[in-house]
Chains A and B, each alone.
Chain A
Amino acid sequence: MAALTALREAVSEFVHDGATVALEGFTHLIPFAAGHEVIRQRRRGLTLIRMTPDLIYDQMIGMGCASRLIFSWGGNPGVGSLHRFRDAIQNGWPVPLAIEEHSHADMAARYQAGASGLPFAMMRGYVGSDLPKVNPRIKSITCPFTGEELAATPAIHPDVTIIHAQKADRKGNVLVYGIIGVQKEAALAAKRVIATVEEVVDHLDAPPNACVLPSWVVSAVCLVPGGAHPSYAHGYYKRDNAFYKAWDTISRDRDTFQAWMQRHVLDTRDFAEYRATLAAESRQGSYA
């Protein structure tokens, strides 16, 4: 049963050094506040799973939280490279990062297999691709009915999945809407689930087919308004495309990156303080 708790306590209790952690949200509802709290608590040796590492994993990798990354597309969408991700892979900075690389369709299928209690995912994929040559976890299986050869990959079972959602009610039922990505599968595949939310309400007023994670599959619900910034929360705020662009400059240089993370994440107490430091800079006309 989900307890309404502070994000600091939820991360402290459920995200341990060396854990396998998935922070999901496909462009939309990326749990930045939770990622920042993991950085503040200086977690190390994490295996990070995410289809699109995005800026939040660039930050966590650059701050040395991760020793392994499982992913399917690692860029700054519409802008260019993730510089910290590239520096870690190409130069092992600040610590070596092992990678396990898949395709989107496969990652989605692996989460589904995890949520379904199956040992592996199966799909028609990677035909003619070199990815199976560099990732020994991509194997094949022959259909017992047709003889067709299909791709098979192990199910994903995170120790913790963290998502951001629009609403929770006071019992801890969580509502996600808009682009729902792979959050339901990532949550149901995990041993523990932390959900940060824009607001806590008396009633979700969710239609019957809405994407609701019932309270009893969620370990902790944390109220963090704006917790997906600079990604967006449908119905609450838009994607901060200017920040995504500014990140290219902030993250390109190691020292600039570290100074930025120190000032905005390590030296702030929580996400509200982080937002306040950004707002001050935004008023001066620049993030970088």
Chain B
Amino acid sequence: MPEAAYTPQEIMTIAAARRLKNGAVCFVGIGLPSAAANLARITHAPDVVLIYESGTIGARPDVLPLSIGDGELAETADTVVSVPEIFRYWLQGGRVDVGFLGAAQIDKFGNINTTVIGGDYNAPKVRLPGAGGAPEIATAAKEVTIIVKQSKRTFVEKLDFVTSSGYTGHGNGTRSGLAAGRGATTVITDLGILQSDPATHELVLAALHPGVSLDDARAASGWKLREAAQLDVTAAPSPAELEALRDLQARTAAAHGGLGTAE
């Protein structure tokens, strides 16, 4: 059956890729965001400008980078600048349309945690890698798309730590201190797509992937998940989209000694 001939991770990656408009300037996080951004570039958005925090602007990697600073990015970029320059002139300077990020935990306002899980900051149960570029990408990009697998572990009522902010006004209509950017406006999961409600700024379910029920999505959320007035169904991946994604992942696996996509 064609409808079942793809995995939840594939439709998540493809749904994220579709959100990236041709010509947009995208600051890309490593892992799933990088897979989605590059899939967009090799399918419907050939003129998308991919920026990585290693300083590569306009990268066109043939295989997905394992790390954020692989040589493939430098070799295919329009230009390579220093790390201070990428953050100051290009990100803080307001030249980024969309940030593509991952997260370990997310709350209903799009705040994300990549720092610690459980315990407290000084004695965490699990120490995660930390902030990297995310706090400034999340607030300086004009908007942010977050790509994360949905479960009660990742979709939480209260974050153990706010590494990077989503909507900082928490429903009161203000974003004091934020000079630019609307925060996390879109979240793509393996179950569906969430969009921020313009009035409350809460992330609400806007679409379910084919075969996923509203109950499935609610059961995989640690907060009381609301749905938009109109709940769509994501278009199933086309054969062309699937072929492009699988070719990209096969090239990547071959290049990285069987490691496959970075996550």
Residues of A at the B interface (CB closer than 8 Å) are 26-28, 51-52, 71-75, 77-79, 81-82, 85-86, 89-90, 101-105, 108-109, 111-112, 123-131, 134, 148-149, 178-182, 184-185, 211, 232, 234, 238-239, 241-242, 244-245
Q: Which chain A positions have C-beta within 8 A of B257? A: 241-242, 245
Determine whether the beta carbon of B71 is less than 8 Å from that of A129: no
- CB within 8 A of A232: which of B30, B71, B83, B124? B71
Q: What residue in chain A is nearest B164 (Cβ atoms)?
A: A129
Contact digits for B86-114, partner A, Cβ 8 Å, 1 yes 0 no: 01100110000000000000000001000
Determine whether the beta carbon of B82 is less than 8 Å from that of A77: no
Instruction: State how many angstroms separate the Cβ of A190 from the closest Cβ of chain B.
Output: 15
Q: Which chain A positions have C-beta within 8 A of B91? A: 105
A26 to B84, CA, bound (A): 12
5 contacts between A and B (CB under 8 A): A101-B131, A102-B131, A104-B53, A130-B161, A131-B115
A211 to B84, CA, bound (A): 14
Q: Interface with A: B133-141, B198-206, B216-224, B236-244, which one?
A: B133-141
Q: What residue in chain B is nearest A183 (Cβ atoms)?
A: B82
Quick one: which of A75, A108, A149 has the most chain B CB within 10 A?
A: A108
Instruction: State how many angstroms separate the Cβ of A115 from the closest Cβ of chain B.
Output: 9
- CB within 8 A of B262: which of A78, A109, A130, A180? A78
Q: What residue in chain A is nearest B133 (Cβ atoms)?
A: A104
Determine whether the beta carbon of B83 is less than 8 Å from that of A131: no
Q: Which chain A positions have C-beta within 8 A of B70? A: 27, 239
Q: By the criterion of a CB under 8 Å from any partner CB, how many residues of chain B are at the interface?
A: 57
Determine whether the beta carbon of B135 is less than 8 Å from that of A179: no
Determine whether the beta carbon of A234 is less than 8 Å from that of B168: no
Q: Which chain B positions have C-beta within 8 A of A112? A: 84
Q: Which chain A positions have C-beta within 8 A of B71? A: 28, 178-179, 232, 234, 238-239
A111 to B88, CA, bound (A): 13
Q: Which chain B positions have C-beta within 8 A of A242? A: 257, 259
- CB within 8 A of A241: which of B87, B121, B162, B256? B256
Determine whether the beta carbon of B67 is less than 8 Å from that of A77: yes
A109 to B140, CA, bound (A): 16
With A73-B131, A77-B262, A125-B136 as given contacts, are A185 and B84 in contact (CB-CB < 8 Å)?
A: yes
With A128-B111, A180-B82, A182-B83 as given contacts, are A105 and B92 in contact (CB-CB < 8 Å)?
A: yes
Contact digits for B144-187, partner A, Cβ 8 Å, 1 yes 0 no: 00000000000000000111111010000000011100000000
Instruction: State how many angstroms separate the Cβ of B253 from the closest Cβ of chain A.
Output: 11
Check B20 for interface membership: any CB of A closer than 8 A.
Answer: no
Q: Which chain B positions have C-beta within 8 A of A102? A: 131
Instruction: State how many angstroms separate the Cβ of A100 from the closest Cβ of chain B.
Output: 11
Q: What residue in chain A is nearest B111 (Cβ atoms)?
A: A128
Determine whether the beta carbon of A104 is less than 8 Å from that of B127: no
- CB within 8 A of B66: which of A71, A125, A241? A241
Known: A78-B65, A104-B131, A112-B84. 10 other contacts (CB 8 A): A26-B55, A72-B131, A89-B127, A90-B127, A109-B87, A130-B161, A179-B54, A179-B71, A181-B83, A241-B257
Of residues 48 to 97 in B, which have CB atoms within 8 Å of A's CB atoms? 53-56, 65-71, 73-74, 80, 82-84, 87-88, 91-92
Check B210 for interface membership: any CB of A closer than 8 A.
Answer: no
Q: Which chain A positions have C-beta within 8 A of B165? A: 127-129
Q: Which chain A positions have C-beta within 8 A of B2? A: none
With A78-B31, A179-B54 as given contacts, are A89 and B124 in contact (CB-CB < 8 Å)?
A: yes
Check B132 for interface membership: any CB of A closer than 8 A.
Answer: yes
Q: Which chain B positions have C-beta within 8 A of A51? A: 83
Check B211 for interface membership: any CB of A closer than 8 A.
Answer: no
Q: Which chain A positions have C-beta within 8 A of B135? A: 103, 105, 125-127, 129, 131
With A78-B262, A124-B92, A239-B67 as given contacts, are A179 and B56 in contact (CB-CB < 8 Å)?
A: yes
Instruction: State how many angstroms separate the Cβ of B48 from the closest Cβ of chain A.
Output: 21
Q: Which chain A positions have C-beta within 8 A of B74? A: 28, 178-179, 234
Determine whether the beta carbon of A108 is less than 8 Å from that of B92: no
Q: What residue in chain B is nearest A135 (Cβ atoms)?
A: B121
Q: What residue in chain A is nearest B56 (Cβ atoms)?
A: A179
Q: Which chain B positions have C-beta within 8 A of A101? A: 115, 130-131
Determine whether the beta carbon of B136 is less than 8 Å from that of A134: no
- CB within 8 A of A27: which of B31, B67, B92, B136? B67
A199 to B25, CA, bound (A): 38
A83 to B57, CA, bound (A): 32
Determine whether the beta carbon of B136 is less than 8 Å from that of A103: yes
Determine whether the beta carbon of A127 is less than 8 Å from that of B139: yes
Determine whether the beta carbon of A129 is less than 8 Å from that of B80: no
Determine whether the beta carbon of A105 is less than 8 Å from that of B133: yes
Instruction: State how many angstroms separate the Cβ of A161 from the closest Cβ of chain B.
Output: 14
A127 to B92, CA, bound (A): 13
A178 to B72, CA, bound (A): 10
A145 to B163, CA, bound (A): 29
Q: What residue in chain A is nearest B114 (Cβ atoms)?
A: A73
